[in-house]
Amino acid sequence: MGTVERRRWRGASALTLLCATALLAVSAMTGVAQAAPMPEPGAKSLEQVRQEIDELYRQAGTATDAYNLAESEAKAQSAKIVEIAKQVVAGQDRITALKNRAGAAARAQYRSGGMPAGAQLALSNSPSQFLDGADRIRQGEKATADLLSEMNRTQSDLQQYAKDATAQWEKLEANRIKQETSKKQIEEKIKSAESLESKLEAEEKARLIQLEQEAQYKAQTAWLSTGVLKEINSSASESGKKALQYATAQMGKPYVWGAEGPDSFDCSGLTSQAWRAAGKGIPRTSQEQLRLLPKVAIKDMRPGDLIIYFDDASHVGMYVGDGAMIHAPRPGRNVTLAGAGSMPIKAVVRPDA
């Protein structure tokens, strides 16, 4: 076994040992929870409750992604409206300047007695004066035509700015409604999940955590049993190392939906801020990260890459190597290390491809 293989075997073994130790620790703490009374006929089992809670939090995660996307788009639209306002002001200033030029030409004609330039030219007795005047008339006509053309273009631009501003305001309002709808969904799902948990006894809550860890451990073990780590042997890029340093420094901070730090994070808030710290701006949500970032095969995964989970891309974590990832799990949990295969993997994306 080579040095790299030994290191990866030790890393994978360490993560497996970490999961197993956590399970044993919870078992030791709960004691009688292992012998919890059988549920009444028709009542939900603790495992069913766990699955229901997990599904509620996953749905809350989906709604959080929708909220974050609407918020991100609203910020972009607000910035666009500000830019349009600046263009309108510049256009109005331009119109004022053009009107001043037109007024100056009118005043000059008034000072000449109001006689058209062509008539003044016809009355000229000097051939050279006639030719010079003819040239000035052509220049004046072109200047007048250019002035009128520029005024028309500027007026047209102002009309387009007004249309653009209206469109952006409509989008902004639509996103405001999306945000309110998503926020309501998030709060309802989290409230439902918390209500289910609040009905459990202390030992049932401890057992619930154990069931959660067992499910993750089972999924991770199945993923590792495929021999996937034998194929994954890439090292982190320099920017990937910086992103990992940021992410790991946030361990222990609580999950809060919509949060981007510095004191709390949701899943995509953590990954987007980690890569921002590495000098690479990436989309705010896990769904947009999946849609816009280059995808890589799992066998080519390297530390710093983002792992997108579930069919609806509602969760994301950052691969740290040796079969592990770091993520902000869900409400009630803190940023932590977990098995990269502890949830269904949809895709892997690379921010610095």
- The residue from 315, 330, 342, 349 that is catalytic is 315
Tokens of 219: 């999924």
- Please give the Cα distance from 185 to 50 (Å, whole number): 20
- Please give the Cα distance from 190 to 134 (Å, whole number): 82
- Please give the Cα distance from 90 to 85 (Å, whole number): 9
Tokens of 294: 């280059």
How does strand 306-309 pair with strand 295-296?
unpaired
Tokens of 281: 């701006």
Interacting residues of 257 by C-beta distance below 8 A, sequence separation 6+:
60, 61, 64, 67, 186, 190, 266, 331
Residue 267 known to be catalytic: yes
Residue 181 known to be catalytic: no
Place of tokens 């896990």: 286
Phi, psi of 54 (to 5 degrees): -60, -45
- The residue from 267, 307, 324, 328 that is catalytic is 267
Cα dihedral across residues 229, 277, 265, 292: positive or negative: negative
For residue 270, how many other CB atoms are within 10 A of its CB? 26
Tokens of 11: 């890393």
Cα dihedral across residues 190, 193, 197, 198: positive or negative: positive
- The residue from 242, 327, 330, 346 that is catalytic is 327
- Please give the Cα distance from 20 to 11 (Å, whole number): 14
The side-by-side arrangement of strands in the sheet containing 315-321 is 295-296, 345-349, 306-309, 315-321, 324-327, 336-339
Secondary structure (DSSP) of 266-278: -HHHHHHHHHHHT
Residue 327 known to be catalytic: yes
Instruction: Report the catalytic residues.
Output: 267, 315, 327
